[in-house]
Structure 1
Amino acid sequence: MSRTPFRTPIRAAAALAVTVAASVTGCTAPHQHGASDSALKVSATTAILADLVRQVGGDRVDVTSVVPHHGDPHSYEPSPGDAAKVAAADVVFSNGLLLEEPGILKMVHSNARKGTPKVAVAEQLEQHGGSVIKLEEDLGLDVLWLGWAVEGEVAGDGSHVRTTAVGLDGPGDLHVYLTDTLGTPQTSIDSTDGFDTKDSFTLPPEAHTHVNWAFSRPGTYRLTVEGKTETLDGQSTPIGRGTITFAVGGAPTAAPGTTVLDAGHADVAIDTAAKSVYVRSDDPATGKRTRHAADQVLLSVPDAAKEQVPQEEAFRFLGAPGTPLWVLPQAVLGKHVHGDLDPHAWEDVANAQAYARRIAAELTKADPAGKATYERNAARYLKQLDELDDEVARRLATIPADARKLITTHDAFGYLAHAYGLEVAGFVVPVPSQEPSAAEVERLGRTIREKRVPAVFVEPNLAARANVLRRVAADEGVAVCTLYGDSFDDRVHDYVSMMRHNAAELARCLAGTKK
């Protein structure tokens, strides 16, 4: 197949053949088909995965999706109906790489029958001819962007780590909370009534999440937290305790040898192997990650972080409307738990081929009698994806070099940019519970002007997030166009149509070509 200079060629042998070798997923009794047997029942966590399974499985599979067409896998809350579908499944496919909201994976582990294969497709992508890239996050906040993280593994199905606040020394109150995609806050730590088991939250191993940190008064705060592992069978093990210090308001004063963190991205982290609590920070220039011992780091919450309690009733737990607060913002609206690797691998068509190969291998393991069908369907679909990859590359090659820049509402297009020679100039997400400052709006407008971006892009399922992006685009006189990232909608129902739309929309909006 032909290639643009922007692509790394797919391995030819992998592109033409379907590998059905055994993988390292759990074993189960093979599914037996007969004249009166029903199709292999498959549950997929997302609509995109469900479509890929249908393409490979054909009539031999009955596929359902946990996250609906319009849903966001980063934040969807599974229902009892979803649990029933998983319980009936012969195979469960997830994307992996921490794409799915942790509650989805916990539901899968809790409800899948014993021995049912649970396949995280993207976590063996390279073995099937695909590739993964690091997740790049640079939100350009004016203050420190502080999250929570877990490093290391935890044995046991559906395992996670619970972090609990056990003490606070300081002049005021501390609230740690997450604002969901509908703007509703969900508190994990609230010091106003002391600390107990409700002042806690969980994360899966090797995960990171974004939260808001709100302090009621200026001064020095020392927060003590402890971690423990938890598994579905009720086992729990302590894994560390530590105290983190914050300087709120004014210029921070640090003891000799203490590192002050006042900007960029950092996490309060727990290492499950070392059983320690510490702070890790990322150097935006080099990408290097540094660990700081809890007693040798000071987290700055300057007066630039001073806000007011929002007017909405949902925020009364923070105090009366208009009351001053010092806030390190969550930055990304909604639950946003992820790891170091970008999970949106399907946005590169070459990776979709790797998904198809892995799916064919796993379906064959679960249903050996269907091997010929799965191989035939996969070979047909791989050929279709070859043609799609050429089509996407040709369309995107029409975009002039100085217009190959993406500004979107979500960091879901790194693979698309990497594979087809585009640049992610920025993704725009609202800071929860507050309007963007004039400086932030101006910075976005300046990025559009300086990079001469002809259009910005919103995702249909995240349209509610796009108000700021639409307003700035109107001010700058640039187009607002549509890209599909994590889900389908009423207009686009399958992966091939999604990628054709994305390629045509990018070419139309960035290069002025017609669909």
Structure 2
Amino acid sequence: MTSLPAHSSRKRAARTAACLLAAGLVAGCATPGLSAHDDRVQVVTTTGILADLAAHVGGDRIRVTSLVPDGADPHSYEPSLRRIRDVAYADVAFSNYMMLEQHAIVKALDANLRPGVPNVSLAEGAVAYAAEIISLVENVSLDTIWLGLRVAGSGEQHAATRASDVLLSATGMEGPGDLVGYLTGSFGEPEVFLDSSDGFDAASGYRDDTAVLPPDAHSHMSWAFTEPGVYRLTLSARLAPDPTSRPVDVGEATYTFAVGIDPHGVRGMADATVLDGGHADLSVDLDRSALTVHADPGSGSHGTHAHDLDPAETVIAVPNKALQEVPAGPGFRFLGRPGTQLYQLPQAVLGKHVHGEIDPHLWHDVRNAMAYVELIRDTLTEVDPAGARTYRDNAEAYLTELDGLDHEMTEILADIPLGSRHLITTHDAFAYLARAYGLEIAGFVTPNPATEPSLADRRRLAQTIRNLDVPAVFLEPNLAARSSTLTEIAGELGVEVCALYGDTFDDDVRDYVELMRFNARSLHDCLTLTSPSAEEGQ
């Protein structure tokens, strides 16, 4: 958006404020005859995408205008006085809300709609029509699997009691870097459980790299990895029934971590279960004398109940979003020099992930857009009961078209090789697209397009592109002028920059169906340019 001189901005603000005192005064400032001879239902929306959905439902019975013009960014656009005038004449208003639009747009709607005019927030209202929402994570590094330690089973065959000790020791590790497992206490003091940098000493009985747990115990942990690649950690479990007894072996297993690379491409584990979210534990099963991975249903495993997986057939994903910098202070020197980057699965101290507001970009899942259409249909019917049949018929035809679009996108994107479905974009706006059509959000420049990327953001993005060997990154055309970071990094690393539409239309993409079709084809063609190269050592 072009900046104005300060005196010009003040004059414009003063004129706008004079016309925003009340809806009646806005109407008085409006151009005469704007709607005086128009008998159609006057609909105002915040964005062009919502205007297009409303137009398909309303047809010739409505006149729809958008406060945000095509090509503009709803996150930052401030409506002009001319567009605010339409609010005063509106019979119904549709916004997306959930913090998508610039606050000035929402204020313009709320302050200038006539009393009694429906003011519908589609993202919130569509939940009643089966729309599914996604919470934004306040810290993307937390949006990973939360991995702990667990002891399960009674251990009766080993004469275990509640006074017994289970000793879980790290006995071996293969990988490109070091692995550190540690716990953080209530006052932030870390306690190291295992550290591969100095080896695992069998002669010491693995005292230095052993966690001591009581039966039926559960403990959260942080897991740090210094380099990307495949790590294989071997753990051995022993049970000491009482302080005077010699510990007995109760199992050994090797656990595989895919750090910063495609977890589906680990050599020799093509059919393995990938755990990439939710909560899981490296578990000692005393009754079976075995080590397992105890996974909840949100961890990437199948099923609706927590269950145990074979470590030999399981890969634990540590994604590029887990890249963190070692904090300053002597307490974390065991991780490396302050500012050094490493990959870390965070310690789950609060149970589930800590989420912020809701991701507002629901329409990138066509099923959510269909819920919008149903809510628009019912709202227009309430405002204009005489047009109920028209709205019903138009909506039914459009929903049929959208259902076909959903299946078409599923087929197109399913053709992308599993190891190539890594999506790197301008900002965090495509979680619904990824979830609905089997993609992975591998990275973005910043969470919000109005936020300037930091040096750490730039380093993390470049590392992600290198680690995953992606053939292309994706740029929203309307944000091209503010996306120099993405294009510069792509140029440095020799990857393609492809278009992906997010919040708005332009001269090339003029409606919602075109937008989604374009995105599906762009993703397919750009992500299948090349296949990621095989990772050395996998």
TM-score normalised by length of structure 2: 0.51
For the 8 Å contact 2:47–2:66, the answer to whether it is kept is yes
2:328 & 2:499 partners in 1: Cα distance?
44
- 362, 375, 398: which one aligns with 2:379: 362
User: Are residues 431 and 126 of structure 1, via their aligned partners in 2, closer, same or farther at CA, if it must alter by over 3 Å?
Assistant: closer
Q: How many angstroms does 1:57 deviate by? A: 0.4
2:361 & 2:412 partners in 1: Cα distance?
21
For the 8 Å contact 2:473–2:496, the answer to whether it is kept is yes
User: Are residues 289 and 44 of structure 1, via their aligned partners in 2, closer, same or farther at CA, if it must alter by over 3 Å?
Assistant: farther
User: Are residues 386 and 434 of structure 1, via their aligned partners in 2, closer, same or farther at CA, if it must alter by over 3 Å?
Assistant: closer
Q: How many angstroms does 1:80 deviate by? A: 1.3
Residue 341 in structure 1 maps to residue 358 in structure 2 = yes
| Aligned position for 1:477 | 494
| Aligned position for 1:66 | 67
For the 8 Å contact 1:56–1:378, the answer to whether it is kept is yes
User: Are residues 493 and 479 of structure 1, via their aligned partners in 2, closer, same or farther at CA, if it must alter by over 3 Å?
Assistant: same
User: Are residues 339 and 63 of structure 1, via their aligned partners in 2, closer, same or farther at CA, if it must alter by over 3 Å?
Assistant: farther
User: Are residues 126 and 378 of structure 1, via their aligned partners in 2, closer, same or farther at CA, if it must alter by over 3 Å?
Assistant: same
Counterpart mapping for 1:13-412 below 5 A: 38-136=39-137, 138=139, 286=348, 288=350, 340-412=357-429
TM-score normalised by length of structure 1: 0.54
C-alpha deviations, 1:9-35, integer Å up to 9, x for none?
xxxxxxxxxxxxxxxxxxxxxxxxxxx
Task: Give 1 or 2: higher helix fraction.
Answer: 2
C-alpha deviations, 1:82-131, integer Å up to 9, x for none?
22100100000001212111111111111100111100011022211211
| Aligned position for 1:218 | none
SS in structure 1 opposite 2:137? coil
2:402 & 2:461 partners in 1: Cα distance?
36
User: Are residues 493 and 113 of structure 1, via their aligned partners in 2, closer, same or farther at CA, if it must alter by over 3 Å?
Assistant: same
Q: How many angstroms does 1:512 deviate by? A: 3.3
C-alpha deviations, 1:235-266, integer Å up to 9, x for none?
xxxxxxxxxxxxxxx97899xxxxxxx99xxx
C-alpha deviations, 1:426-459, integer Å up to 9, x for none?
111399898854x654432221121121110010
For the 8 Å contact 1:454–1:510, the answer to whether it is kept is yes
1:368 & 1:464 partners in 2: Cα distance?
45
1:137 & 1:506 partners in 2: Cα distance?
27
C-alpha deviations, 1:40-62, integer Å up to 9, x for none?
00000000000000000000000
Q: How many angstroms does 1:137 deviate by? A: 5.1
| Aligned position for 1:495 | 512
* Percentage of matched positions with identical amino acids: 51
Q: Superposition RMSD on alpha carbons, in Å? A: 3.2
SS in structure 2 opposite 1:135? strand
1:38 & 1:442 partners in 2: Cα distance?
57
C-alpha deviations, 1:146-204, integer Å up to 9, x for none?
xxxxxxxxxxxxxxxxxxxxxxxxxxxxxxxxxxxxxxxxxxxxxxxxxxxxxxxxxxx
1:286 & 1:79 partners in 2: Cα distance?
47
For the 8 Å contact 2:427–2:449, the answer to whether it is kept is no
Q: Which runs of 5+ in 2 are unaligned?
A: 1-36, 143-326, 332-337, 340-344, 531-538
- Which one-letter code corresponds to 2:81 in the other structure? P
SS in structure 2 opposite 1:41? strand
1:80 & 1:431 partners in 2: Cα distance?
25
Q: How many angstroms does 1:402 deviate by? A: 0.7
Select the structure with the greater relative contact order (CA < 8 A; seq sep ≥ 6): 1
Q: Which runs of 5+ in 1 are unaligned?
A: 1-35, 142-249, 255-261, 264-282, 291-337
Q: How many angstroms does 1:66 deviate by? A: 0.3
SS in structure 1 opposite 2:120? strand
For the 8 Å contact 2:75–2:450, the answer to whether it is kept is no
- Which one-letter code corresponds to 2:366 in the other structure? V
SS in structure 2 opposite 1:505? helix
For the 8 Å contact 1:98–1:339, the answer to whether it is kept is no
Q: Which structure: larger Rg?
A: 2
- 474, 486, 504: which one aligns with 2:521: 504
For the 8 Å contact 1:56–1:359, the answer to whether it is kept is yes
2:366 & 2:452 partners in 1: Cα distance?
38
